[in-house]
Structure 1
Amino acid sequence: MIIDQYVLGAFEEIDKTLEIALRQSSLTHQRQSQPSNRAYLKKLQDQLWLVQNEVTLLKAGLTQGKRQHRVSFPVLENVLHKLQQQEEDVLRDFVAVSGDVENSVRSAIDQYVSVCLYYSVVQKSLKELPLVSDTAIYYGDVHDATRWSLLYALQVLPNRLVRILRRSVQNDKKYISRAHLARDLKALGHGWYDYLLRKADRMVMIQNFQLVGLPNDAKKVARSIFALPLAAVRQEVDANRVAAEELFDGTTRKLGSLLGQFPNTHDFEERTRLLASFFDHNARESSPNGAEKVLLDLVSKMTVPSPMKYVEKPGCWTRYWPSIFAVLTYGPGSAIAIWQSRYKIVQFCQENIVDFCAGLVQNWIWVPLQQVWSTVRHDEKNSTLAIASKGSLDSEFSSLTRMVVQLVAENSDQPVDTTNLAAQVETGNLTEFMQIYEHQLHHPIKNIMTGKLVRSLLIQLQKTKVDGSLALSGIDQLLQSQQLVFGVVAMSPAVLILYVLWTCAYRLTRLGRLWSNAAQLKYKLSSSLNNIERLLNYNHHDVNVTDKDLNTGLLALEVVSARQCGDRLIPKNRRSEWIRDVGELVDTNLGHAARLNVMNRIYHVYGRFLT
């Protein structure tokens, strides 16, 4: 990841060196090669082709940015083994071999293998060291909390009992054999009893838990006895934590030394020495091809698990067997209860899930959409948003006009222009009617008895009703003018629910979780950038070599963590720039001041994506 460009450049340099050597050899006038020499060269070419095939696959993965090819170390080991075997055959048979083409091909093979080994070692370390750090943090959390210590004791109890039983069987074979031969269960019981006593004695001698005399209080005695298992668990957890931290620090130092020195040298023997120091291998070989033999030993070590594989948290089965046991214990009864209540569950799902979804789509999406469409089309037939009916105001107004015209015509001595009077009533001018009404009020009792005043009051009541209808008609028109807004507002809750459901489904399929972890990524990225700047601010002239290598390894781990977090936060169109800028933080060709300038560029260019 952080050494991809260097590895590609190293491969290109080896290719050019080999090509130049072959061209120079072809231009040089040499004597005709012997058949044995040609056969030896043919074998070298075959081994070179195998190595170059692995290099080509690795380069393709690094260039395309896809899933990177894993180097096949059994193939490289077989190639180096055959080279050693061919060298022994040459020395044994005293075959005269020219020192141009053969040495160039052999040197290219060794350089290819060393770079592949360097790449694999760095990638493997960058992948496994964070797991070792997480393991140390896990054991630290378990050690600091009593409830986690007790849970850890419960989790490892079955595995620990099996281990104790197996070890006790191996240590007390005499009891078991005698009990098996003589069928003497009492002897077997004495054997187990002695073993448990020895374990109890060891538990009392736990570090930092020394009992000086016995307390007089019975509660204190009981508390001390019950505290012994917890102290034993914490001692084991603390030992695991210390082992994980020591392995992390040691491997990080070796990784930092390798990252700081390997890219700055082109000598094969020096590169082999650096790789051997990472594996704690003795690289003192005085033979002509001693470095190649050391490289063969190092390649063979890549096919076996590294020590970091053995420092890890308890397995999934160990951590989750209490939950699995609880599920198996209460699961069958719960399953039977669920099966017996299946009809109620189906009814509940039908009423609360299926009907809810159908009603949500029908009443809150489809119907509002139809109303919005009708409003946009001015389709008055399908409009449902109204307070008063359309024809009620016209009928009431016509009735009022007829009533006023008839009353005025009956109480007037002269002919009445009904058309003009009707036009006045439609505009709200009731002057002639109000004059008749005022005249009737002079003799109210008489007019009430004759019914004239009652008739005028009923006309007034009709006028009030028309005025109310006019007000409702105005409100109705106002609502109809805002019907589009009401339709969108009515549809917005359903759209919001659908958006949330769609977002959750998308995150579940792409991220593997319902809720986005952008906040966690930003927090982790901020912490990594802070550590990177802190490590770059160290003055390397004031620290020793060991701390310098440790800082270099920690810097590489923090850069990898920052890049992984940034790849998920930075937009795709800026991701290539992000990878380039982060890669410059571990570029050994840049000084500390230049890399600090890179940090400043990262902050002011990508700050809006990272906060």
Structure 2
Amino acid sequence: MDTRTQTNITSQPTRKVIKTIRHDGSSEVSLMSKRSLQGDRDSLERMVVDFAIANPVITTGTNAPLTEPQIADIRLKVREGDLTPVLKAYEHDLATPILATLRGNLLRTLLIQVQKTKVDVEIAMGGIDALLKSQELVFGFVGLTPGILVTYFGLHYLRSNLTSKRGARAQGEQGKLLRQLRNIDRVLQHAEPTEFGELGYRDLGLLLCEVHVLRVAAEKSLPRGRVAREFGEDVEELCDVRVGVGRQKAAAERVRWAYGRYLS
């Protein structure tokens, strides 16, 4: 899996979660458009009002035209789901359905009721839509989970590899330090001191070479600060030919036990 793919499966769900938290209006979780319900309700209202105006006898019981207050009352009732004028005409036409279909308002009332059913269905869908939107954050986190898992295991794998390689290099350096201490010990043990108890030129040269290699290797293994400074002091004493072979051996032994945890 390349870097771009891994970024997409993580960043895209994350952006969706952020949009949900911010109540972004462009949410994808929706069953219908925002204005579809309002448009259908307005259409139903106009259909019922036009029917009532065209049939005042059914609405008011008289042939007098409807007044503005009466029309406003019908509009209010339609918004509340009351289609009394239409239902009265529908019940009346059912007595003679064939004649009402040809000459009456049966077909018109049926179409108005179809529109009312459509509005009712959209209202129910609106409730489901609101429920989905309330759970959109959950859906977002569900979509984000695979990306998080892939990223986590990918980083864990890389870190494990880097740690193992670093550990292998550190073990190699520590093994080198131990070999240098062994060489230093061999030089001191096989050295033939002079009459003053000091190392000869040959043995001193070998010791200085081994100590130099030890210093270089220790720079990569020992922690900086006081430990490195004290190590330098002990190594200086180890190289000081004036202190005698005995103290040099003691210094080598001190280096071994004092810094053993960094060397093993």
Q: In the alignment, which residue of structure 2 is the partner of 1:542?
A: none
The residue number in structure 1 matching 2:37 is 393
| Residue 368 in structure 1 maps to residue 13 in structure 2 | yes
Corresponding residue for residue 433 of structure 1: 86
- The question of whether the paired residues in 1 share the 8 Å contact of 2:31 and 2:125 is answered with yes
- Hey, what's the Cα distance between the residues in 1 that align with 2:106 and 2:153? 67
String of CA shifts for 1:506-547, please: whole Å, max 9, x gaps.
11111359xxxxxxxxxxxxxxxxxxxxxxxxxxxxxxxxxx
Shift in Å, 1:428: 1.0
Distance 1:451 1:432, change over 3 A: closer
CA distance in 1, matches of 2:55, 2:143: 55
What is the deviation of 1:398? 0.3
2:102 to 441, 449, 454: 449
Q: Among 119, 136, 140, which residue is 1:487 paired with?
A: 140
Counterpart residue number, 1:411: 55
| Aligned partners of 1:393 and 1:469 also within 8 Å | yes
Structure 1 residues 507 and 475, CA gap change in structure 2 (3 angstroms) = same
Q: Could you tell me how far 1:397 is from its partner in structure 2?
A: 0.5
Indicate whether 1:467 and 2:141 are aligned.
Answer: no
Cα distance between partner residues in 2 of 1:441 and 1:361? 65
Give the C-alpha shift of residue 386 in structure 1: 0.8
Which whole-Å CA distance do the structure 2 matches of 1:359 and 1:400 have between them? Answer: 49
> What number of residue pairs does the alignment pair up?
157
Does the 8 A contact of 2:93 with 2:105 survive in 1? yes
Q: Which gives a bigger RCO, structure 1 or 2 (Cα 8 Å, sep 6+)?
A: 2
In 1, Cα distance between equivalents of 2:90 and 2:132 = 37
Aligned equivalents of 2:106 and 2:6: distance in 1?
A: 58
Equivalents in 2 of 1:452, 1:471: separation in Å?
Answer: 29
Aligned equivalent of 1:508 = 161
**Residue equivalent to 1:61:** none
The 1:501/1:360 distance shift into structure 2, 3 A limit, reads: closer
Query: Aligned equivalents of 1:366 and 1:502: distance in 2?
Result: 16
Q: CA RMSD in A?
A: 1.9
Q: Is residue 405–residue 418 contact of structure 1 (8 Å, CA) maintained in 2?
A: yes
2:24 aligned to 373, 379, 383, which one?
379
8 A contact 1:369–1:487 mirrored in 2: yes
Same amino acid, percent of matched pairs? 38
Supply the AA of the counterpart residue of 2:89.
I
Cα offsets for 1:49-75 (capped at 9, x unmatched)? xxxxxxxxxxxxxxxxxxxxxxxxxxx
Q: Quick one: distance in 1 between partners of 2:6 and 2:161?
A: 23
- CA deviations 1:380-425 (Å, max 9, x no partner) are 1x32221100010000000001101111221223443111111111
Note the C-alpha offset of 1:487: 0.6
Letter in 1 for 2:17: V
> Partners of 1:436 and 1:360 in 2: how far apart?
64
For 1:483 and 1:460, the matched residues in 2 are separated by 34
Query: What letter matches 1:487 in structure 2?
Result: G
- Alpha-carbon distance in structure 2 between the residues aligned to 1:359 and 1:472: 36
Distance 2:5 2:107 in 1: 54
TM-score by length of 2: 0.56
Query: Alpha-carbon deviation of 1:366?
Result: 2.1
- Report the alpha carbon displacement of residue 360 of structure 1 after superposing the two structures with TM: 4.1
* Residue 423 in structure 1 maps to residue 69 in structure 2: no
The alignment's TM-score, normalised by the length of structure 1, stands at 0.25
Amino acid in structure 2 at the alignment position of 1:373: I
Stretches of structure 2 lacking an aligned partner (at least 5 in a row):
167-264
Distance 1:508 1:383, change over 3 A: same
Conservation of the 8 A alpha-carbon contact between 2:89 and 2:105: no
Deviation at 1:361, TM superposition (A): 2.5
Q: Structure 1: how far apart are the matches of 2:55 and 2:141?
A: 56
Once the two structures are TM-superposed, the CA of residue 359 in structure 1 deviates from its matched residue by 3.6
**Alignment partners' CA distance in 1, 2:7 and 2:104:** 60
Unpaired stretches in structure 1, ≥5 consecutive residues:
1-352, 514-611
Q: Deviations over 1:442-465 (max 9, x none)?
A: 110011112621111111111111
Q: Distance in 2 between matches of 1:439 and 1:504?
A: 79
Hey, what does 1:263 align to over in structure 2?
none
Counterparts of 2:153 and 2:7, CA distance in 1? 15
Contact 1:408 1:436 in 2 (8 A): no
C-alpha spacing 1:483/1:442, structure 2 compared with 1 (3 Å): same
Distance 1:418 1:359, change over 3 A: farther
User: Hey, what does 2:129 align to over in structure 1?
Assistant: 476
